[in-house]
Chain A
Amino acid sequence: MLDRNSPLRPIAIVAALLVALPLLLPSLTLSSEVVVFAVGALSVSVLLQRVGLLSFGQGLFFGIGAYASGMLLAAAEISNAVASIGAVLVAVAISVGIGALIARRGGVYFVMLTFAFAQMGFFLMVAMAGITGGENGFADVPVAPLVAGGSATPGTFATYVYLAVLCLLAFAATCVMAASPFGSVQTAIRSNIHRAQALGYNIANFKAATFVFAAAVAALAGAMHTTLLGFVPPSVIEPETSQRLLIMAIIGGAGSPLGAFLGAAFYVVLSDALADVWPRWMMLIAGILIAVVLLAPGGLFGLLSNAFGRVRARG
């Protein structure tokens, strides 16, 4: 078996989950939705887990990724993959600016600033209705191949495979980063920020760099969302998206990147199952969130890894 601390271990588990997902869930579209939001929730959990920053505004970068990829597809005859790379670069450029401004702030100031920027993003989208489509969303996204040279009208299975590969790449990048020298500084910052600074690390720069990484991940998720839906609904940049990504990350557990996957799967599958039978299903999600925060701060991942630990200790 893989070493417990090897960065390959969570990557292998995500790969296995991606293969299992379409076998377990009733539809490929639902599986694809899980995969998209797993990447979105990862962007929240990576900030929280690596440097202890709580973002209330990752929806901003999710939205930027969704709009940018949609607009790039409309503007040029390119594949979804190329549009996604472009969307990630746009988000990186914007997050470098925002990160330099806000990443040095800690605690509640950082939370409020992310919230404020997310609000600003939403109202900018509405204000620029001429380009973004405003409250109607951006509907002019042409059907495009997934990758250059691929089928012009990709089916749902191909789309799932494409999204699953991107998801695996995002999780792999996160795990490799966590095991890198850069990741060791993040660990130091989370463990004892004053000591890390006294050693000579410029804390603000490391936090800002992590912020940019998380923004890139969120934008990738947004671009994947556009690929899946074929248009850009205005909800992608609404504050509710930020909230949803945060809830997924917390329910799943921010102790490991795997938590983001579990949280997204739980949320998407539950809301899909309940939305038809009970229009107030969000109440249940709220109740679960309260229960997790109060009773199981490690989230689903914490519960599962405890259970595995107990089985292993017995066996």
Chain B
Amino acid sequence: MASMNPILSAQGIQQRFGELTAVDDVSVDIRENSIHAVIGPNGAGKTTLFNILAGTQSPTAGKVVYAGRDVTSMPIHQRVKIGMSKSFQRTSLFADLTVLENVRLAVQAADGAEPYVFWRSTDPGGRLSGIAEELLGSVGLRALSGARVGEISHAAQRTLEIALALASKPKIIFLDEPLAGMSIDDIHRAKHLIRSLSERMTVVLIEHNMSVVLGISDTITVMARGRKIVEGPPEAIRSHPDVRQVYLGHAP
């Protein structure tokens, strides 16, 4: 379960876009093997913070330290190699390829030995496809492996998103609104999947579904107007007066 040591630590993060300060002097520690959610109303800067932590954006000031290493300006393809992985908010897959080929590409990237081989066909012994099939099985998508991604359901695409991010065997995974647009049944399944991930890795997520966030997270960081206003376990967040005011309104 969650240990006390931070695997990822962001210090004094600031992000300016011209006159606008989207994130203003935010520091966050993310404990190893915890589920850490970043929430906040629209325009709170949570997506910007999340992107800086995940590495798709580098901050104007501040630094991000992962496992003792400054990764602030490390490009995303190198972060993958050291155990950081990100799934996308808007489904971002290879739509014209099959489910299996999507995952095989991800496994091939993680494997490292294959990608520059240009003189023979892909995966002659089926080793990478085997690993990919196994990964699909672990997220419950094996039955769809031959289908084209453009033709599978939205929920299945969201799950495939996560499967691609898992192929590199990350130590920390960033999930950008993993439940967006899912039906109630799908949300239930996805919740279990995310919970099961935290047995093996640290999970950082942004999510709008409050009941899920409160239900699965170990720690929640609440952002408002570019600043971190509260951080703590779900119980503390639920009852915190500032949170109720800026984010939850009158609920719950």
Contact = CB atoms under 8 A, between A and B. Distances in A.
A and B: real partners? Answer: yes
Interface stretch (A73-81, A92-100, A179-187, A234-242): A179-187
B117 interface: yes
A113 interface: no
A153 to B, nearest CB: 36
Contacts, number: 93
Given A181-B123, A192-B93, A199 B106 contact: yes
Nearest to A177: B118
Contacts of A196: 105
Given A176-B120, A180-B121, A181-B115, A195 B109 contact: no
B138 interface: no
A181 B164 contact: no
B92 interface: yes
B109 A199 contact: yes
Given A182-B116, A195-B88, A202 B77 contact: yes
Given A181-B123, A182-B116, A184-B101, A199 B92 contact: no
Nearest to B97: A191
A52 interface: no
Contact of A188 (B76, B105, B116, B121): B105
Nearest to B115: A185
Contacts of B34: none
B202 interface: no
A174 to B, nearest CB: 10
Contacts of A195: 88, 92-94, 164
Given A192-B94, A199-B80, A200-B168, A180 B88 contact: no
B77 A180 contact: no
A181 B88 contact: no
B120 A199 contact: no
Contact of A179 (B114, B116, B122, B164): B122
Given A180-B119, A195-B164, A200 B80 contact: yes
Contacts of A177: 118-119
Interface in B90-138: 92-97, 101, 104-106, 108-110, 114-123
A194 B94 CA distance: 10
B56 to A, nearest CB: 8
Contacts of A230: none
A199 B122 contact: no
Contacts of A134: none
A211 B120 CA distance: 19
B77 A191 contact: no
A208 to B, nearest CB: 12
B167 interface: yes
A313 interface: no
A296 interface: no
Given A199-B110, A200-B81, 12 more contacts: A176-B118, A177-B119, A181-B116, A184-B104, A191-B95, A194-B88, A194-B92, A198-B56, A199-B80, A199-B168, A200-B77, A201-B109
The 3 closest A-B pairs by CB, nearest first: A200-B80, A182-B118, A200-B109
